[in-house]
């Protein structure tokens, strides 16, 4: 049984699984189509991805332009600060973000619908990150906005090392420069 918690942005949920533990370890269900449908959430996930990163790695803020993806993200090892930025043009929260600490201890997940930019910062020494997507990755369709865009004003946690970004992530435009907007369903 999954517990769904609304966030400050409509359609973004923090999801906490019920964990069954004993002397052997633990068991938990990380996705249940029935639990999602009971919440009115109808997603068909078609791709699972996993990455590993060291402390200070900041990935994002990413989206796909013509093939937007909803994502269900979680941490297998370590801890990250995960962020979703609303890019839906008619949304009351356009340009606002939700930021959540996800870790192997709290086992929380973040459900990010289509129409959002997504990124995360590794705050532990090492992290393994996994996520489901409801559309396939299209490399030619990549987009992004700057992680430090002053209009979005993400309050990233402090880490005791320099931030590590890909060359591509260093070159993303601001939200205003990108002029990227999706409709309410997350479509361009």
Catalytic residues, by residue number, are 62, 131
For residue 30 the two structure tokens come to 């990380």
User: C-alpha dihedral over 14, 134, 59, 184, to 10 degrees?
Assistant: -70
In whole angstroms, give the CA distance from residue 99 to residue 155: 8
Spell out where the chain has E strands. 2-6, 13-17, 19-22, 25-28, 47-54, 58-64, 71-77, 79-86, 97-103, 109-112, 116-122, 126-133, 142-144
* Residue carrying the six token digits 């699972």: 48
């Amino acid at each position: 049984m999954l517990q769904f918690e609304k966030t400050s942005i409509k359609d973004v949920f923090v999801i906490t699984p019920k964990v069954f533990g004993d002397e052997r370890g633990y068991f938990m269900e990380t996705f249940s189509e029935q639990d999602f449908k009971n919440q009115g959430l109808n997603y068909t996930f078609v791709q699972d991805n996993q990455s590993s990163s060291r402390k200070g790695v900041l990935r994002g803020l990413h989206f796909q332009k013509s093939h937007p993806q909803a994502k269900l993200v979680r941490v297998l090892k370590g801890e990250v600060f995960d962020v979703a930025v609303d890019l839906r043009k008619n949304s009351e929260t356009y340009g606002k973000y939700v930021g959540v600490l996800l870790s192997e201890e709290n086992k929380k997940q973040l459900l990010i619908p289509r129409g959002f930019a997504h990124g995360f910062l590794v705050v532990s020494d090492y992290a393994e990150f996994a996520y489901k997507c409801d559309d396939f990755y299209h490399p030619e369709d990549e987009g992004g906005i700057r992680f430090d865009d002053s209009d979005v004003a993400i309050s990233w946690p402090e880490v005791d090392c320099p931030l590590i970004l890909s060359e591509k992530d260093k070159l993303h435009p601001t939200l205003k420069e990108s002029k990227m907007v999706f409709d309410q369903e997350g479509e361009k």
